[in-house]
Amino acid sequence: MQNPQVLAALQERLDNTSHTPSSYIETLPKAVKRRIDALKQLQVQCAHIEAKFYEEVHDLERKYAALYEPLFDKRREFITGEAEPTDAESEWHSENEEEEKLAGDLKNKVVIEEREAAATEEANPKGIPDFWYTIFRNVDMLSELVQEYDEPILKHLQDIKVKFSEPGQPMSFSLEFHFGPNDYFTNSVLTKTYKMKSEPDKTDPFSFEGPEIVDCEGCSIDWKKGKNVTVKTIKKKQKHKGRGTVRTITKQVPNDSFFNFFNPIKVSGDGESLDEDSEFTLATDFEIGHFFRERIVPRAVLYFTGEAIEDDDNFEEGEEGEEEELEGEEEGEEEEDTESEPKKDASQPAECKQQ
């Protein structure tokens, strides 16, 4: 490679080749390609080390889940009314405290009216009514799954917990939906388990970006008679081919419901690929499970009040606003370049292209 003639020949080949990464690699000498292959071997080893890193992260998640558990248990007690927070536990200084203080006088003026109204209503409902149902209603990703006939069932939802797989077991996590006694099913807990993989694919190790959900399992719901909202009964007329008589039959067909969440599509284990609709449904299911684990369960009160949703919306709007501003700047620069092009001013700044 120190020979000037070899370098010149290589440069000529590069100049005559379209400059794409793959085409450039093809022009390199075998000795260089051999070194690149060695770098890829190192990259695969890095991917396997990264997989071990995520396994240890999963262990840490399990460890800290045990520390969160007493706090989440107390949260459940406050929500269901099993316990009442002390004055110290319920003390909270909001950002709008000054405004609330200024509005205190106005509130005092209507205190008598409020007391009269309270006399006709339940003065102190138990716990926080419809806590989890309100979260479902507030979060678009969840509200899209909930049908009107699901709502009275979700009002019996008392808690959602995340459980991580035990040490030495394949990586997974489970969602537990705890329900109070209701008129719809006898289960006190409905579960959904998501199986995960944290290892590079043998056929495509460079695609590894951390653990991914690869499959999920639901549970059987023991519906009470006539209360299964995941099916509906339809009537269908049938005509006898020979006699021409008509009879009416009834049959059950699947019905849209959030509770289909506990009867997910199974990933084929025999290597057969799913159709496009099934793949989309499964990917959406994985996304919802991840959202429950990472956002809903840890920050439930903020999704109940809507504060977490407002934060997400503000962040998205900020990104869009920045993008629009950049586009506007680009358009302005293009106009300026067009007007000044005939002058060929050497001091004119080069056009800035957004990557």
Please give the residue that has the higher pLDDT: either 92 or 245. 92
Report whether pLDDT(257) > 70: yes
Q: How confident is the model at residue 267 (pLDDT cuts 50, 70, 90)?
A: confident
Query: Quick check: 159 and 76 in contact, CB under 8 A?
Result: yes
Residue 107: C-alpha distances to residues 53, 90, 100, 121, 150 (Å): 55, 21, 9, 19, 38
Please give the residue that has the higher pLDDT: either 144 or 324. 144
What is the reported pTM?
Answer: 0.72
pLDDT at residue 354, as a whole number:
39
Report whether pLDDT(338) > 50: no
Domains and CATH numbers, the chain: 9-86+129-267+275-305 (3.30.1120.90)
pLDDT at residue 291, as a whole number:
96
Report whether pLDDT(334) > 70: no
Report whether pLDDT(221) > 80: yes
* Pairwise CA distance, residues 231 & 253, whole Å: 5
For the CA atoms of 177, 178, 181, 187, what is the dihedral angle to 10 degrees?
60
**Alpha helix segments (H runs only) across the chain:** 4-15, 21-26, 30-80, 97-102, 104-109, 111-119, 131-138, 140-143, 151-154, 276-291, 300-305, 307-340
Residue 54: other Cβ atoms inside 10 A: 17
3-class DSSP state for residue 215?
A: strand
pLDDT at residue 204, as a whole number:
84
pLDDT at residue 351, as a whole number:
39
What is the percentage of the chain residues whose pLDDT exceeds 90? 48
Ranking 73-77, 93-97, 189-193, 279-283 by mean pLDDT, the lowest is 93-97
Q: What is the mean pLDDT of residues 75-92?
A: 94
Please give the residue that has the higher pLDDT: either 41 or 208. 41
Q: Which helix (H) or strand (E) holds 252?
A: strand 246-254
| pLDDT tens-digit map of 282-298 | 899 999 999 999 999 99
Q: What is the DSSP string of 132-190?
A: HHHHHHH-HHHHTT--GGGHHHHTTEEEEEEEEPPTTSPSEEEEEEEE-S-SSBS-SEE
Q: What are phi and psi of 245, to 5 degrees?
A: -75, 155
Please give the residue that has the higher pLDDT: either 4 or 150. 150
pLDDT at residue 207, as a whole number:
83
Query: Quick check: 47 and 206 in contact, CB under 8 A?
Result: yes
Ranking 54-58, 183-187, 273-277 by mean pLDDT, the lowest is 273-277
* Pairwise CA distance, residues 61 & 210, whole Å: 15
pLDDT at residue 245, as a whole number:
78
Report whether pLDDT(355) > 80: no
Q: Classify the C-alpha dihedral 41-42-45-51 as positive or negative.
A: negative
* Pairwise CA distance, residues 61 & 53, whole Å: 12
* Pairwise CA distance, residues 12 & 266, whole Å: 55
Compute the mean pLDDT over every residue in the chain, rounded to the nearest whole number: 81
| pLDDT tens-digit map of 136-191 | 999 999 999 999 999 999 999 999 999 999 988 889 999 999 999 999 999 999 99
Ranking 95-99, 220-224, 257-261 by mean pLDDT, the lowest is 95-99
Please give the residue that has the higher pLDDT: either 65 or 101. 65
* Pairwise CA distance, residues 161 & 79, whole Å: 14
Q: What is the mean pLDDT of residues 12-36?
A: 77
